[in-house]
Protein backbone atom coordinates (compact mmCIF):
# COMPACT_ATOMS: atom_id res chain seq x y z
CA UNK A 1 0.00 0.00 0.00
CA UNK A 2 1.22 3.45 -0.79
CA UNK A 3 1.22 5.85 2.10
CA UNK A 4 -0.40 9.17 1.26
CA UNK A 5 2.23 11.24 2.99
CA UNK A 6 5.08 9.82 0.97
CA UNK A 7 6.28 11.76 -2.02
CA UNK A 8 5.40 10.49 -5.46
CA UNK A 9 7.86 12.95 -6.93
CA UNK A 10 11.01 14.45 -5.42
CA UNK A 11 12.74 17.31 -7.16
CA UNK A 12 16.22 18.05 -5.88
CA UNK A 13 18.24 21.09 -6.87
CA UNK A 14 16.99 20.99 -10.43
CA UNK A 15 18.52 23.31 -13.01
CA UNK A 16 17.81 23.84 -16.67
CA UNK A 17 19.79 26.42 -18.62
CA UNK A 18 19.21 27.08 -22.28
CA UNK A 19 22.42 28.12 -24.02
CA UNK A 20 22.48 31.29 -26.11
CA UNK A 21 24.85 31.03 -29.03
CA UNK A 22 26.51 34.06 -30.53
CA UNK A 23 29.64 35.53 -32.04
CA UNK A 24 31.27 34.49 -35.30
CA UNK A 25 32.04 30.98 -34.12
CA UNK A 26 28.58 30.52 -32.63
CA UNK A 27 29.92 29.68 -29.26
CA UNK A 28 27.83 29.82 -26.15
CA UNK A 29 27.88 33.41 -24.97
CA UNK A 30 25.28 33.26 -22.26
CA UNK A 31 22.41 31.17 -20.93
CA UNK A 32 18.77 31.51 -20.02
CA UNK A 33 18.49 30.41 -16.40
CA UNK A 34 14.97 29.03 -16.85
CA UNK A 35 15.01 26.76 -13.81
CA UNK A 36 17.74 27.54 -11.34
CA UNK A 37 18.05 25.28 -8.33
CA UNK A 38 14.52 24.15 -7.53
CA UNK A 39 13.71 21.56 -4.85
CA UNK A 40 10.35 20.31 -3.64
CA UNK A 41 8.26 17.16 -3.20
CA UNK A 42 4.83 16.24 -4.43
CA UNK A 43 2.91 13.86 -2.17
CA UNK A 44 0.63 11.04 -3.28
CA UNK A 45 -2.87 12.23 -4.07
CA UNK A 46 -2.28 15.91 -3.54
CA UNK A 47 -2.59 18.81 -5.94
CA UNK A 48 0.48 20.97 -5.93
CA UNK A 49 0.04 24.33 -7.58
CA UNK A 50 2.93 26.00 -9.32
CA UNK A 51 2.29 29.70 -9.87
CA UNK A 52 4.29 32.50 -11.34
CA UNK A 53 4.25 35.11 -14.06
CA UNK A 54 5.17 34.43 -17.65
CA UNK A 55 8.80 33.52 -18.15
CA UNK A 56 9.35 32.42 -14.55
CA UNK A 57 10.22 28.89 -15.66
CA UNK A 58 7.12 27.01 -14.57
CA UNK A 59 6.52 25.39 -17.94
CA UNK A 60 10.19 24.46 -18.35
CA UNK A 61 10.09 22.87 -14.91
CA UNK A 62 7.08 20.78 -15.89
CA UNK A 63 8.80 19.56 -19.04
CA UNK A 64 11.96 18.58 -17.17
CA UNK A 65 9.93 16.78 -14.53
CA UNK A 66 8.43 14.56 -17.23
CA UNK A 67 11.85 14.33 -18.86
CA UNK A 68 10.52 15.79 -22.09
CA UNK A 69 13.69 17.85 -22.00
CA UNK A 70 16.93 16.93 -20.23
CA UNK A 71 18.02 19.00 -17.23
CA UNK A 72 21.35 20.79 -16.86
CA UNK A 73 21.77 19.31 -13.42
CA UNK A 74 19.79 18.01 -10.48
CA UNK A 75 17.61 15.01 -9.76
CA UNK A 76 13.98 14.09 -10.16
CA UNK A 77 12.87 10.92 -8.38
CA UNK A 78 9.55 9.34 -9.24
CA UNK A 79 8.54 6.85 -6.53
CA UNK A 80 12.14 6.63 -5.52
CA UNK A 81 13.59 6.09 -9.00
CA UNK A 82 15.91 8.67 -10.51
CA UNK A 83 14.32 9.58 -13.83
CA UNK A 84 17.52 10.78 -15.45
CA UNK A 85 19.26 7.46 -14.93
CA UNK A 86 16.61 5.47 -16.74
CA UNK A 87 17.11 4.29 -20.30
CA UNK A 88 14.79 5.45 -23.07
CA UNK A 89 12.95 2.15 -22.86
CA UNK A 90 12.44 2.25 -19.13
CA UNK A 91 11.39 5.88 -19.37
CA UNK A 92 8.83 5.03 -22.01
CA UNK A 93 7.28 2.48 -19.71
CA UNK A 94 7.17 4.98 -16.90
CA UNK A 95 5.46 7.52 -19.09
CA UNK A 96 2.34 5.39 -18.78
CA UNK A 97 2.11 6.61 -15.23
CA UNK A 98 2.76 10.28 -15.93
CA UNK A 99 0.76 12.37 -18.33
CA UNK A 100 0.38 15.94 -19.37
CA UNK A 101 -2.62 18.12 -20.05
CA UNK A 102 -1.68 21.06 -22.21
CA UNK A 103 -2.82 24.65 -22.20
CA UNK A 104 -4.01 24.99 -25.73
CA UNK A 105 -6.38 22.20 -26.74
CA UNK A 106 -6.49 23.68 -30.24
CA UNK A 107 -2.78 23.15 -30.82
CA UNK A 108 -2.27 19.94 -28.89
CA UNK A 109 -4.70 17.76 -30.82
CA UNK A 110 -3.81 16.44 -34.26
CA UNK A 111 -6.45 17.82 -36.64
CA UNK A 112 -6.25 14.73 -38.85
CA UNK A 113 -7.07 12.24 -36.12
CA UNK A 114 -10.53 11.40 -34.85
CA UNK A 115 -11.41 11.44 -31.19
CA UNK A 116 -11.10 7.64 -31.09
CA UNK A 117 -7.62 7.77 -32.69
CA UNK A 118 -6.40 10.44 -30.30
CA UNK A 119 -7.71 8.78 -27.18
CA UNK A 120 -6.68 5.29 -28.33
CA UNK A 121 -3.16 6.21 -29.35
CA UNK A 122 -1.55 5.54 -25.97
CA UNK A 123 -3.13 2.07 -26.03
CA UNK A 124 -1.50 1.34 -29.38
CA UNK A 125 1.88 2.84 -28.56
CA UNK A 126 2.19 0.96 -25.31
CA UNK A 127 0.52 -2.16 -26.70
CA UNK A 128 -2.11 -2.16 -23.97
CA UNK A 129 -5.21 -3.17 -25.85
CA UNK A 130 -6.37 -4.15 -29.30
CA UNK A 131 -9.58 -4.65 -31.24
CA UNK A 132 -12.77 -4.88 -29.22
CA UNK A 133 -10.98 -4.35 -25.94
CA UNK A 134 -9.38 -1.18 -27.23
CA UNK A 135 -12.73 0.12 -28.39
CA UNK A 136 -14.31 -0.70 -25.06
CA UNK A 137 -11.60 1.15 -23.22
CA UNK A 138 -11.91 4.21 -25.45
CA UNK A 139 -15.67 4.38 -24.92
CA UNK A 140 -15.19 4.06 -21.20
CA UNK A 141 -12.72 6.93 -21.09
CA UNK A 142 -14.73 9.13 -23.42
CA UNK A 143 -17.76 8.74 -21.16
CA UNK A 144 -15.67 9.51 -18.10
CA UNK A 145 -14.81 12.98 -19.36
CA UNK A 146 -18.40 13.77 -20.24
CA UNK A 147 -18.35 13.18 -23.98
CA UNK A 148 -20.67 10.74 -25.76
CA UNK A 149 -19.68 7.58 -27.68
CA UNK A 150 -21.26 9.01 -30.84
CA UNK A 151 -18.54 11.67 -30.79
CA UNK A 152 -15.90 9.00 -31.36
CA UNK A 153 -15.40 9.45 -35.07
CA UNK A 154 -15.40 13.22 -35.10
CA UNK A 155 -12.36 15.40 -35.72
CA UNK A 156 -11.06 18.08 -33.34
CA UNK A 157 -12.48 20.99 -35.34
CA UNK A 158 -15.97 19.68 -34.71
CA UNK A 159 -15.60 20.26 -30.98
CA UNK A 160 -15.78 23.45 -28.92
CA UNK A 161 -12.83 24.61 -26.81
CA UNK A 162 -14.16 23.00 -23.65
CA UNK A 163 -14.84 19.71 -25.41
CA UNK A 164 -11.34 19.76 -26.91
CA UNK A 165 -9.89 20.11 -23.46
CA UNK A 166 -12.02 17.13 -22.39
CA UNK A 167 -10.41 15.14 -25.22
CA UNK A 168 -6.99 16.25 -23.97
CA UNK A 169 -7.90 14.90 -20.56
CA UNK A 170 -9.42 11.69 -21.93
CA UNK A 171 -6.19 10.95 -23.77
CA UNK A 172 -4.25 11.05 -20.53
CA UNK A 173 -6.70 8.70 -18.80
CA UNK A 174 -6.32 5.76 -21.18
CA UNK A 175 -3.00 4.69 -19.76
CA UNK A 176 -4.11 4.82 -16.10
CA UNK A 177 -1.65 7.47 -15.00
CA UNK A 178 -0.79 8.32 -11.42
CA UNK A 179 0.75 11.74 -11.88
CA UNK A 180 -0.85 14.34 -14.10
CA UNK A 181 0.86 17.56 -15.02
CA UNK A 182 -1.68 20.18 -16.04
CA UNK A 183 -0.10 23.23 -17.63
CA UNK A 184 -2.64 26.10 -17.60
CA UNK A 185 -5.45 23.67 -18.48
CA UNK A 186 -8.22 26.28 -18.44
CA UNK A 187 -6.58 29.55 -19.32
CA UNK A 188 -7.71 29.48 -22.94
CA UNK A 189 -11.31 28.67 -22.03
CA UNK A 190 -14.30 30.87 -21.38
CA UNK A 191 -15.43 31.50 -17.83
CA UNK A 192 -18.48 29.24 -17.87
CA UNK A 193 -16.58 26.41 -19.55
CA UNK A 194 -13.67 26.78 -17.16
CA UNK A 195 -15.87 25.71 -14.27
CA UNK A 196 -16.83 22.51 -16.11
CA UNK A 197 -13.20 21.50 -16.66
CA UNK A 198 -12.10 22.39 -13.12
CA UNK A 199 -14.93 20.33 -11.67
CA UNK A 200 -14.06 17.44 -14.00
CA UNK A 201 -10.41 17.49 -12.87
CA UNK A 202 -11.54 17.39 -9.24
CA UNK A 203 -13.97 14.52 -9.87
CA UNK A 204 -11.35 12.47 -11.67
CA UNK A 205 -8.88 13.03 -8.86
CA UNK A 206 -11.42 11.77 -6.34
CA UNK A 207 -12.19 8.69 -8.42
CA UNK A 208 -8.69 7.70 -9.50
CA UNK A 209 -6.60 9.20 -6.68
CA UNK A 210 -4.55 11.24 -9.11
CA UNK A 211 -1.69 13.44 -8.07
CA UNK A 212 -1.69 16.76 -9.88
CA UNK A 213 1.04 19.24 -10.60
CA UNK A 214 -1.17 22.17 -11.46
CA UNK A 215 0.61 24.99 -13.26
CA UNK A 216 -1.06 28.35 -13.65
CA UNK A 217 -0.69 32.09 -13.40
CA UNK A 218 -4.24 32.47 -12.13
CA UNK A 219 -4.12 32.55 -8.35
CA UNK A 220 -7.89 32.36 -7.90
CA UNK A 221 -8.08 29.07 -9.78
CA UNK A 222 -5.01 27.71 -7.98
CA UNK A 223 -6.58 28.47 -4.61
CA UNK A 224 -9.66 26.57 -5.67
CA UNK A 225 -7.77 23.52 -6.96
CA UNK A 226 -4.67 23.01 -4.85
CA UNK A 227 -3.60 21.61 -1.49
CA UNK A 228 -0.18 23.22 -1.52
CA UNK A 229 1.24 25.98 -3.66
CA UNK A 230 4.76 26.77 -4.85
CA UNK A 231 5.45 30.30 -6.07
CA UNK A 232 8.14 30.74 -8.72
CA UNK A 233 10.01 33.90 -9.62
CA UNK A 234 12.69 34.04 -12.31
CA UNK A 235 13.71 30.39 -12.16
CA UNK A 236 13.45 29.87 -8.41
CA UNK A 237 10.78 28.74 -6.02
CA UNK A 238 10.48 31.60 -3.51
CA UNK A 239 7.69 30.22 -1.34
CA UNK A 240 5.96 26.90 -0.76
CA UNK A 241 3.09 26.45 1.66
CA UNK A 242 -0.28 24.80 2.26
CA UNK A 243 -2.87 26.73 0.28
CA UNK A 244 -4.63 28.41 3.22
CA UNK A 245 -1.37 29.47 4.83
CA UNK A 246 -0.13 30.98 1.63
CA UNK A 247 -3.20 33.06 0.88
CA UNK A 248 -3.86 34.20 4.43
CA UNK A 249 -0.30 34.69 5.52
CA UNK A 250 2.09 35.03 2.59
CA UNK A 251 5.67 35.38 3.81
CA UNK A 252 7.53 36.35 0.67
CA UNK A 253 7.06 39.96 -0.47
CA UNK A 254 6.54 38.73 -4.03
CA UNK A 255 3.73 36.37 -3.02
CA UNK A 256 2.19 39.16 -0.98
CA UNK A 257 2.23 41.52 -3.98
CA UNK A 258 0.96 38.82 -6.31
CA UNK A 259 -2.03 38.06 -4.11
CA UNK A 260 -2.86 41.71 -3.53
CA UNK A 261 -2.71 42.35 -7.28
CA UNK A 262 -5.57 39.99 -8.14
CA UNK A 263 -8.73 41.91 -8.93
CA UNK A 264 -11.66 40.52 -6.95
CA UNK A 265 -15.08 40.65 -8.64
CA UNK A 266 -17.41 43.20 -7.07
CA UNK A 267 -14.70 44.98 -5.19
CA UNK A 268 -12.28 47.80 -5.77
CA UNK A 269 -8.75 47.57 -4.52
CA UNK A 270 -8.16 49.94 -1.66
CA UNK A 271 -5.03 51.72 -0.59
CA UNK A 272 -3.41 48.53 0.62
CA UNK A 273 -2.82 47.10 -2.82
CA UNK A 274 0.87 46.62 -3.47
CA UNK A 275 1.90 47.86 -6.88
CA UNK A 276 5.30 46.48 -7.83
CA UNK A 277 7.73 48.68 -9.70
CA UNK A 278 9.12 47.63 -13.04
CA UNK A 279 8.80 44.31 -14.79
CA UNK A 280 10.04 40.77 -14.25
CA UNK A 281 13.82 40.70 -14.93
CA UNK A 282 15.12 38.53 -17.74
CA UNK A 283 16.37 35.08 -16.78
CA UNK A 284 19.41 35.63 -19.03
CA UNK A 285 21.07 37.95 -16.61
CA UNK A 286 19.14 37.68 -13.36
CA UNK A 287 19.86 40.29 -10.66
CA UNK A 288 22.47 39.26 -8.08
CA UNK A 289 21.36 38.23 -4.62
CA UNK A 290 17.65 37.77 -4.23
CA UNK A 291 16.15 38.00 -7.70
CA UNK A 292 13.23 39.97 -6.42
CA UNK A 293 15.28 42.68 -4.70
CA UNK A 294 15.07 45.37 -7.43
CA UNK A 295 11.27 45.31 -7.22
CA UNK A 296 10.90 44.51 -3.53
CA UNK A 297 9.35 47.23 -1.35
CA UNK A 298 11.26 45.98 1.71
CA UNK A 299 14.65 45.46 0.08
CA UNK A 300 17.73 45.74 2.33
CA UNK A 301 21.44 45.90 1.46
CA UNK A 302 21.95 42.17 2.06
CA UNK A 303 19.26 41.29 -0.50
CA UNK A 304 21.37 42.52 -3.42
CA UNK A 305 24.42 40.57 -2.25
CA UNK A 306 23.35 37.19 -1.01
CA UNK A 307 20.97 34.68 -2.45
CA UNK A 308 18.48 33.86 0.33
CA UNK A 309 18.18 30.22 1.36
CA UNK A 310 14.94 28.33 0.97
CA UNK A 311 14.08 27.46 4.56
CA UNK A 312 11.16 26.06 6.52
CA UNK A 313 10.00 28.87 8.81
CA UNK A 314 6.86 27.13 10.01
CA UNK A 315 5.70 23.59 9.63
CA UNK A 316 5.33 23.00 5.91
CA UNK A 317 5.82 26.66 5.07
CA UNK A 318 9.04 27.33 3.14
CA UNK A 319 10.28 30.72 2.04
CA UNK A 320 13.43 32.18 0.50
CA UNK A 321 13.72 35.69 1.92
CA UNK A 322 16.32 37.43 4.05
CA UNK A 323 13.63 39.18 6.05
CA UNK A 324 12.13 35.92 7.28
CA UNK A 325 14.98 34.33 9.14
- Residue 275 Cβ vs another protein, minimum distance, rounded to whole Å: 5
Cα-based torsion angle of the residue sequence 300, 290, 59, 4 in order, rounded to the nearest 10 degrees: -90
Contact region for another protein (CB under 8 A) — 14-22, 99-107, 270-278, 296-304? Answer: 270-278
Neighbours of 133 (CB within 10 A): 11
Q: At what angle do helices 161-173 and 115-125 cross, to 10 degrees?
A: 20
Binding residue for another protein, selected from 79, 128, 276, 304, defined by CB under 8 A: 276
* Residue 257 binds another protein, judged by CB under 8 A: yes
Which residues 237-256 are close enough to bind another protein by CB under 8 A?
Answer: 247
* Residue 9 binds another protein, judged by CB under 8 A: no
207 and 45 Cβ atoms separated by less than 8 Å: no
Site size toward another protein (CB under 8 A) is 40
Neighbours of 249 (CB within 10 A): 12
- Alpha carbon distances (Å) from 212 to 80, 175, 223, 301: 18, 16, 14, 39
30 and 230 Cβ atoms separated by less than 8 Å: no
* Residue 234 binds another protein, judged by CB under 8 A: no
Q: Can you tell me the distance from the alpha carbon of 306 to that of 291, in angstroms, rounded to the nearest whole number?
A: 10
Contact region for another protein (CB under 8 A) — 15-23, 64-72, 93-101, 187-195? Answer: 187-195
Closest CB to another protein among 164 and 178?
Answer: 164
52 and 232 Cβ atoms separated by less than 8 Å: yes
Q: Which DSSP category does 324 fall into?
A: G
* Residue 196 binds another protein, judged by CB under 8 A: yes
* Residue 224 binds another protein, judged by CB under 8 A: yes
Contact region for another protein (CB under 8 A) — 11-19, 61-69, 123-131, 218-226? Answer: 218-226
- Residue 191 Cβ vs another protein, minimum distance, rounded to whole Å: 6
* Residue 270 binds another protein, judged by CB under 8 A: no
Which are the contacts of 258, defined by CB distance < 8 A and separation ≥ 6?
51, 53, 219, 231, 250
Which residues 101-160 are close enough to bind another protein by CB under 8 A?
Answer: 160
Q: Can you tell me the distance from the alpha carbon of 52 to that of 322, in angstroms, rounded to the nearest whole number?
A: 20
Q: Give SS3 for 93.
A: helix
Binding residue for another protein, selected from 24, 264, 315, 325, defined by CB under 8 A: 264
Binding residue for another protein, selected from 77, 151, 223, 324, defined by CB under 8 A: 223
* Residue 25 binds another protein, judged by CB under 8 A: no
Which residues 45-74 are close enough to bind another protein by CB under 8 A?
Answer: 53-54
* Residue 191 binds another protein, judged by CB under 8 A: yes
Binding residue for another protein, selected from 91, 195, 304, 323, defined by CB under 8 A: 195
Q: What percent helix, strand, coil does the chain show, rounded to 5?
A: 35, 25, 40
Residues that bind another protein (CB under 8 A): 53-54, 160, 162, 190-196, 198-199, 202, 217, 219-221, 223-225, 247, 257-269, 273, 275-276, 279-280
Amino acid sequence: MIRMSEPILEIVNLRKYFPIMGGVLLRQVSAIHAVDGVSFDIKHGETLGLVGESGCGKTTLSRVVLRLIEPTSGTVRYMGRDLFELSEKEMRKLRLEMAMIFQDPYASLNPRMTLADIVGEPLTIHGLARGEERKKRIIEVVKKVGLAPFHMYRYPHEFSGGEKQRIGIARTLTSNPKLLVADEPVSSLDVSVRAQILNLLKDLQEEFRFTYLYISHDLSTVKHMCDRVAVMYVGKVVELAPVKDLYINPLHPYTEALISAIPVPGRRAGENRIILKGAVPTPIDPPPGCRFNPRCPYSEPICAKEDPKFIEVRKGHFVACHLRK
